[in-house]
Structure 1
Amino acid sequence: MGSEKLRKSKSVRTTISLPADDHVELEALARKHRVSVAWVIRDAVQKYLEGQPPLDRTKLNSRGEQQ
């Protein structure tokens, strides 16, 4: 189920907090597809990013904030 992009790029550990209801849904989805919750989240992030227009990086400061 994983994509080539996910397997080839270097991983960075990130911690997030989710509402309990969202986590329960993620666990159910992961069980249904026999993957980890982490895989479901990585897949969702990748799909979200693929649907976004490129950022105009010239308008962002070093912290990624708009100037």
Structure 2
Amino acid sequence: MHALSKRNDGAAHERSVRASISFPEDQYQVLEKIAAENKVSLAWVVRDAIDGYLKSKWPLLAPDTHTKDDK
């Protein structure tokens, strides 16, 4: 079962799915540093990185990866 929640952070997606992800310690420390330098959450950094990755792999889906019915 997926835990869905509403986000109100200006993101294109209104619903999100919670996931637990493990990182090697060195990667986690770099992510924390990036988040602190940009005054954003670590979760925001990870979402931003994933967004960029998905856009580079599937540009036909960018910038909006869901249909109007998903809103």
Q: Quickly name the TM-score band, shorter chain normalised.
A: 0.5 to 0.7
Structure 1 unmatched runs, 5+: 55-67
TM-score by length of 1: 0.67
Larger Rg, first or second structure (1 or 2): 1
Spell out structure 1 runs of 4+ moving beyond 4 A: none
**1:39 Cα deviation (Å)?**
0.3
Structure 2 unmatched runs, 5+: 1-8, 61-71
Equivalenced residue count is 51
Percent of aligned pairs with the same amino acid: 39
2:48 matched to which residue of 1?
Answer: 43
2:68 matched to which residue of 1?
Answer: none
Map 1:1-67 to 2 at 5 A: 4-5=11-12, 8-53=13-58
The one-letter code of the counterpart of 1:36 is: S
TM-score by length of 2: 0.64
